[in-house]
Amino acid sequence: MFTKLVERFRSRVLLAPQTTASGAEAYAAPTPGVMGIVIRCIAKMGNDADLVLSLKYADNTTGTNATAYPVNVPIYVNGVKQDNGKAHTVKDATGDFIVDFCIDPATVPDGKLVGVAYADSNTGNLLTTMIVEDVAYKPTPS
């Protein structure tokens, strides 16, 4: 039985809070044996310029050979299910948005890191992203 949230979920920052004036990306290696992965993007939209968030995988944390994610994944915005996909655009809006990309760890290509990238948007928009993993399952070492 888990008594503390930190015993069940592991979270790491991918992108520290920043303006979206120029595109950026960040990636992390999934924890071995992880049960589920959520890439959470938290946006404070102060300008109605579109913010395109793209789920990708890469060879390293800086995004070498970054490629669109191989399968569509469930996407939630402020807890509301959207169409499955590999990207989400926060459009024509101001306010606060949480965009969750829900990833089955089995779909992460072998040896790759998973993360998110965004295109240029506006200095009035702020974004931070994190990876949240359900690490409750611990496989027996071989």
For each of the domains in the chain, give its residue range(s) and CATH number, in order of start: 25-134 (2.60.120)
pLDDT in tens, 92-102: 788 999 999 99
Report how far residue 76's alpha carbon sits from residue 53's, in angstroms, rounded to the nearest whole number. Answer: 13
**pLDDT above 70 coverage of the chain, percent:** 91
The pLDDT value recorded for residue 8 is 82
Nearest to 99 by CA among 48, 21, 18, 44: 44
* pLDDT of residue 137 exceeding 80: no
What is the total residue count of the chain?
142
pTM of the model as a whole? 0.90
Which range in 29-33, 90-94, 129-133 is most confidently predicted, on average pLDDT?
A: 129-133
pLDDT in tens, 66-88: 999 999 999 999 999 999 999 99
Backbone angles phi, psi at 6, to 5 degrees: -70, -15
DSSP label at residue 73: B
